[in-house]
Amino acid sequence: MTDTQPKTPFLPDDAATSWPPVAVPGQPSGATAPSAEEDHDAASSTPLPEGAQILDDLRVQIKRYVAMPSEEAVTAVALWIAATHLQRAWQHAPRLAIVAPEKRCGKSRLLDVVTETVHNRLITVNATAAAIFRSIDGDDPPTLLVDEADAMFSTTTAAEKNEEVRGLINAGHQRGRPTLRVSGPEHQVQEFPTFAMAALAGIGDLPDTIMDRAVVIRMRRRAAGEKVASFRTGRDTPALNAIRDRLHAWLQALYAQAMEMEPPMPVEDRAADTWEPLVIIADLAGGDWPVLARAACRAMTDYEAGQDEEGGLRTRLLVGIRRAFAAVGDPAVLSTKHLLESLNADREAPWAEYGANGLTPRGLQLLLKPYGIGSANRRFPDGTQAKGFARNQFLDTWARYCPEPKASDAPASSADGPLPGTAA
């Protein structure tokens, strides 16, 4: 008798004769694994989420007409524009500061693109604070757009004249900061809302208090090889308006969801307040946008922090004092005379503006007064006494306003022992 053989399924002539070595997760056990080419085709054919596609289209339009300074700047502008369509959901209304060192850097052209894509635009070149806050609707805020903002703040006289406008722009960064006015025949006190997103374009930096509340786009003049399309209002605005309408339709349905979101942020404090609406928009959009938004946030806020360290007068003074201490081995005490000599030796510092001999002891005292730091009589190794500062007076202030640079960037000590005017 012959043994019974197990029956095998009939295979067509052109069928594979070997079984897959392992089962494929998510597929029937008899199915074969897709090839690498099939995986790539499937990924590339997967449609983008609606929000990501709209933002991608907006990015294309921005780059079509404007030579942007970086890809991070393109990401930031696209997200800021989208965020204007959900202003009712935000606790903070980030400003968009479009600044340039000179004319013909593209700031007005970028403002043109922004104007045609934001929600409920309110554009002005020169307006009073009263006209602005009477135009802001608390239930559906407009997007305030100010061109040639440098004319409002570039001189002391202009800045004083427009101090009320600056205060209004600052107040409108946070919800619940109304301005009060007496109005009507009975002189009743009336609250006017100030909360609204705002974009300001100008030559040179805007006032520090505005820059600190802004996503800053630092435009530059186009290089020879950078080409952009010309912008014609009648021809080009319909396409931009179509993107505006798509943004609005997409985001209005997400209002409640946006209200509840508290996304992880790569920055803290006011920078986080300013960038949070943009990051929420990116998270709602999906695709690559959550990663792009956080990368742009980190890079652009780091850059502005560096600008503040080099440009903020008091911050620059603190950095200069730290360098003066480090240059002589970080002694416990440094005389006022030695400190001023070190500060005034920096030819690129602004201290020359303080007089023929640069920064004076009185000027130094006034600049340090807001930090609660002052000079006092100090005793030095050679037995002499003189006005000076203790290093530990600055430690907390340095940590708060200009954190210590990385070890690789720290200045090396240039002295082996105490120098005149110093104490170990």
CA 173 to chain centroid, in Å, comes to 14
Q: Which of 47-61, 84-98, 367-381, 393-407 has the lowest mean pLDDT?
A: 393-407
Mean pLDDT, residues 344-351: 84
- Ranges 52-56, 109-113, 147-151, 263-267: which has the least confidence: 147-151
Rounded Cα gap, residues 216 and 273, in angstroms: 14
pTM here is: 0.71
| Mean pLDDT in residue range 387-416 | 72
- Is the pLDDT score of 30 beyond 50? no
238-242, 330-334, 349-353, 373-377: which range is least confident on average? 349-353
Per the prediction, the chain carries an average pLDDT of: 84
Q: Cα separation of 48 and 328, whole Å?
A: 59
Question: Pairing between strand 333-335 and 422-423?
Answer: antiparallel
Q: Please give the pLDDT value at position 47.
A: 87
pLDDT for the residue numbered 35: 52
Report whether pLDDT(14) > 70. Answer: no
Q: What integer pLDDT is reported at residue 396 of this predicted model? A: 92
pLDDT attached to residue 125:
77
The whole-angstrom separation of Cα 265 and Cα 275 is 8
Closest CA to 417 of 322, 329, 325: 329
315 pLDDT more than 90: no
> Is pLDDT at 213 greater than 70 in this prediction?
yes
Residue with the two structure tokens 């990663």:
291
Q: Which two tokens stand for residue 421?
A: 């005017």
Q: How far apart are the C-alpha atoms of 227 and 64, rounded to whole Å?
A: 9
The predicted pLDDT at position 372 comes to 92
Q: Which three-class secondary structure state does DSSP give residue 410? A: coil
Would you report the helix, strand and coil content of the chain in percent, each value rounded to 5? 45, 10, 40
Tokens encoding 309: 């360290």
Cβ-count burial 77-89 (b if 16+ within 10 Å, e if not) = bbbbbbbbbbbbb
| 106-121 mean pLDDT | 96
What DSSP state is assigned to residue 139?
S
